[in-house]
Chains A and B, each alone.
Chain A
Amino acid sequence: MTGDVSALQLVLSGDPGLFAIVRLSLLISLSAVLFAGLIGVPVGAFIALTLFPGREGVIVVLNALMGLPPVVVGLAVFLALSRSGPLGSWGLLFTPQAMVIAQTVLVAPIIAALTRQTIEDLWVEYRDELAAMNIGPAGRVATLVWDARFSLVTALLAGFGRAAAEVGAIIVVGGNIEGFTRTMTTAIALETSKGDLPLAIGLGIVLIFIVILINALAWAARRAGERTAG
């Protein structure tokens, strides 16, 4: 990419460099949301449905973790994945996988906390009916997660928004390597530091547009689903 053309022009002309950056951004953030969902939804559901000592404390901590500073997550994952760190032998530092890991760590608490709230509310509503139908613990979780799926989409979207917007974690663990670990947000940070503010703003507009598009798609899916399930 050269700095003289605006990002919007690059989009319109199908610039392959920009396309690769957008593609990588989406791949990383969507993968992170997927993994964070696979972790966060069951954990949130478990906390919602289980009484154990210290549960209130866990909920407070989980809610607080929603505000984890990305750069702290980045640093922690960096230290873990560094060749001098405990997971150094994986050789993942400065790779897209490291970025997925960092964003998963960042997003999982958000999804878990919102899932916990959603499932707990629905559980209060369903509790008697499920007991009367003699539904066991596993079936309970499956039913609540399935019936709350449209609300859980909102939790996943919140996670995606957070992942797609953050730069602090992925720039530390990804290294912003051109053509390899450069995403929209790290490119924006770089172009800002190079003083190419129009390109940075252009990239920012592309980023916002994509986030809006994904939210719109998810919203449409949610509305369509609600029409049949209520």
Chain B
Amino acid sequence: MSMHAPSHDLPLMFVEAGILAGEVTILDNISLTLNAGAPTVLIGPNGAGKTTLLRAAMGLIPVTHGRITWGGNETAAPARRAFVFQRPAMLRRSTEGNVHYALAAAGVPHGQRYDRAAELLTLVGLDGFGSRPARRLSGGEQQRVALARALARDPAVLFLDEPTASLDPHATKAIEDIVSNVAARGVKVVMSTHDLGQAKRLAGDLVLLHRGRLIESGPAAQFFADPRTEEASKFIAGELLI
């Protein structure tokens, strides 16, 4: 992977952004700025709006109120953004074929795809898996294929939605290592989790969502040491937020 100049996708700003589905408020008046740097981790109970916020940030769903800007622009062409879904769908191709497809979609010239694919598969620890049908891989392996596909876009911002939600500790560790590695190379990682331990291990910044509202955001160390809101304290203490 090449290093690149700060992308025009950053800073990514939510300005009083809201999303309504019919009568139901999914996101409510969110103002948030995501800057280059260490990973930003979204936490909050199920249904808090984490996935919706990630999708809106990717540009997959439009906001119904307010706006989102990418490097100051409201156009949403996701050329330098990539997304790993909570349950990524594997294309009905080989592992290598999945990565090739993503490289082609990202406009990588045909002649370079073989080397790039091999590089990416090595990065996610799938050496030797290239010719295996992707749909027959384990959940953790599929998650890594999805990461390789996302990285094929050479993203400035990488969104990960609960990337380790259904994985065993071993597979979780592997994914976390890749995420740290990628972040260290200058990619802005924005991910959701409801594993507080994972948030502690990976986060530079933390964002706590509850019922579609942004409760608290800031540097992770400060968040854990000195939460400013009652919800944050409860969440850190492991109590249910209702």
| Alpha-carbon distance between A128 and B60 when the two chains are bound, in angstroms | 8
Knowing A126-B91, A139-B105, A229-B97 touch, does A133 contact B153 (C-beta < 8 A)?
A: yes
B140 within 8 A of partner (CB): no
Chain B residues with Cβ below 8 Å from A132 are 58, 60, 78, 82-83, 85, 150
A230 and B85 form a contact (CB under 8 A): no
Mark interface residues in A210-230 (1 if CB within 8 Å of B CB, else 0): 000000000000000011111
B91 and A129 form a contact (CB under 8 A): yes
Interface SS of chain A: helix
Binding site for A on B (CB under 8 A): 58, 60, 77-79, 82-83, 85, 88-94, 97, 101-102, 105-106, 131, 133-136, 149-150, 153
Q: In A123-179, which residues have CB < 8 Å from any B CB?
A: 125-126, 128-129, 131-135, 139, 143, 147-148, 150
Binding site for B on A (CB under 8 A): 122, 125-126, 128-129, 131-135, 139, 143, 147-148, 150, 226-230
Chain B residues with Cβ below 8 Å from A128 are 60, 83, 85, 89
Please tell me which one of the listed residues B89, B105, B136, B149 contacts residue A134 in the complex, with CB atoms under 8 A apart: B105
| Alpha-carbon distance between A134 and B155 when the two chains are bound, in angstroms | 13
CB distance from B152 to the nearest CB of A (A): 9
CB distance from B107 to the nearest CB of A (A): 10
Chain A CB within 10 A, most for which of B92, B106, B134: B92
| Alpha-carbon distance between A134 and B101 when the two chains are bound, in angstroms | 12
* Closest residue on chain A to residue B77 by CB atoms: A134
CB distance from A104 to the nearest CB of B (A): 28
Please tell me which one of the listed residues B58, B78, B89, B105 contacts residue A126 in the complex, with CB atoms under 8 A apart: B89
* Closest residue on chain A to residue B83 by CB atoms: A132
Chain B residues with Cβ below 8 Å from A230 are 90, 92-94, 133-136
Chain B residues with Cβ below 8 Å from A143 are 91, 101
Knowing A128-B85, A134-B105 touch, does A229 contact B93 (C-beta < 8 A)?
A: yes
A227 and B85 form a contact (CB under 8 A): no
Knowing A133-B102, A134-B77, A134-B78 touch, does A229 contact B60 (C-beta < 8 A)?
A: no
**Other 7 A-B pairs with CB < 8 A, given A129-B91, A228-B94, A230-B133:** A128-B85, A133-B102, A133-B149, A139-B105, A148-B92, A226-B133, A229-B97
| Alpha-carbon distance between A226 and B134 when the two chains are bound, in angstroms | 11
A229 and B92 form a contact (CB under 8 A): yes
* Closest residue on chain B to residue A228 by CB atoms: B94
CB distance from A143 to the nearest CB of B (A): 8
CB distance from B16 to the nearest CB of A (A): 25
Chain A residues with Cβ below 8 Å from B88 are 129
Chain A residues with Cβ below 8 Å from B89 are 125-126, 128-129
The 5 closest A-B pairs by CB, nearest first: A230-B133, A230-B135, A132-B83, A133-B105, A147-B92
Chain A CB within 10 A, most for which of B101, B134, B136: B101
| Alpha-carbon distance between A230 and B131 when the two chains are bound, in angstroms | 11
| Alpha-carbon distance between A133 and B106 when the two chains are bound, in angstroms | 7
Would you list 26 pairs from A and B whose C-beta atoms are within 8 A, ordered by A residue? A126-B89, A126-B91, A128-B60, A128-B83, A128-B85, A129-B85, A129-B88, A129-B91, A132-B58, A132-B60, A132-B78, A132-B83, A132-B85, A133-B105, A134-B77, A134-B78, A135-B105, A143-B91, A147-B91, A150-B92, A226-B133, A228-B94, A229-B93, A229-B133, A230-B92, A230-B136
